[in-house]
Chain A
Amino acid sequence: MLGEILQSIGEALGLAVALVFSGDPDLLEIVFLSLQVSLTATVFACVIGLPIGALVAIGRFRGRNAVLILMNALMGLPPVVVGLVVYLHLSRSGPLGFLGLLYTPTAMIIAQTILISPIVAALSRQVLEDLHAEYADQFRSLCLTRLQTIQALLWDARYSLLTVGLAGFGRAVAEVGAVIIVGGNIDHLTRVMTTAIALETSKGDLGLALALGIILLVIALGVNAAVQTVRMTAARQAYV
Chain B
Amino acid sequence: MFDAMAPRTQPDNLRGTNVAPILPMSMREVVLRFGETAVLDGVSLDLGLRGCTVIMGSNGAGKSLLLKLMHGLIAPCSGSIKWGDLAPSDVMVRQALVFQKPVLLRRSVAANVDFVLKARGKGIAARDALLEHVGLLHKSAQPARLLSGGEAQRLALARALATDPEVLFLDEPTASLDPASVLVIERIVADARKRNVRVILVTHDIGQARRMADDVVFLHRGRIAEHSPASQFFPDPHSSVARDYLNGKIVV
Contacts and interface: CB of A to CB of B under 8 A. Distances in A.
B183 interface: no
A141 B97 CA distance: 7
Contact of B105 (A140, A156, A237): A156
A201 interface: no
A57 B172 CA distance: 30
A12 interface: no
A141 B143 contact: no
B145 A238 contact: yes
Contacts of B105: 135, 152, 156
A152 B92 contact: no
Contacts of B145: 237-239
Contact of A156 (B68, B71, B106): B106
**Dominant SS at the A interface?**
helix
B106 A141 contact: no
B84 to A, nearest CB: 18
Contacts of A143: 92-93
Interface in B62-104: 68, 71, 73, 92-93, 95-97, 99, 103
B116 A239 contact: no
Contacts of B93: 143
A137 interface: yes
A155 B92 CA distance: 25
A135 B103 contact: yes
A219 to B, nearest CB: 29
Contact of B143 (A134, A142, A237): A237
A9 interface: no
Interface residues of A, number: 17
Interface string B88-131: 00001101110100010111000000011001000000000000
Given A143-B93, A144-B119, A152-B115, A138 B143 contact: no
B65 to A, nearest CB: 12
Contacts of A148: 119
B153 interface: no
A77 interface: no
B165 to A, nearest CB: 10
A237 B147 CA distance: 11
Nearest to B71: A141
B49 interface: no
A240 B105 CA distance: 10
Contacts of B99: 137-138
Nearest to A140: B73
A148 B121 CA distance: 11
B146 interface: yes
A155 B114 CA distance: 14
Contacts of B119: 142, 144, 148
A137 B116 contact: no
Contact of A239 (B68, B107, B115): B107
B163 interface: yes
A239 B143 CA distance: 7
Given A141-B96, A143-B92, A152-B115, A238 B103 contact: no
Contacts of B73: 137, 140-141
Contacts of B107: 155-156, 239
A238 B71 contact: no
A133 to B, nearest CB: 11
A112 to B, nearest CB: 30
7 contacts: A134-B103, A137-B99, A138-B103, A152-B115, A156-B105, A238-B146, A239-B107
Given A143-B93, A237-B146, A238-B143, 7 more contacts: A140-B73, A141-B71, A142-B96, A142-B163, A148-B119, A239-B106, A240-B106
Interface of B: 68, 71, 73, 92-93, 95-97, 99, 103, 105-107, 115-116, 119, 143-146, 163
Interface of A: 134-135, 137-138, 140-144, 148, 152, 155-156, 237-240
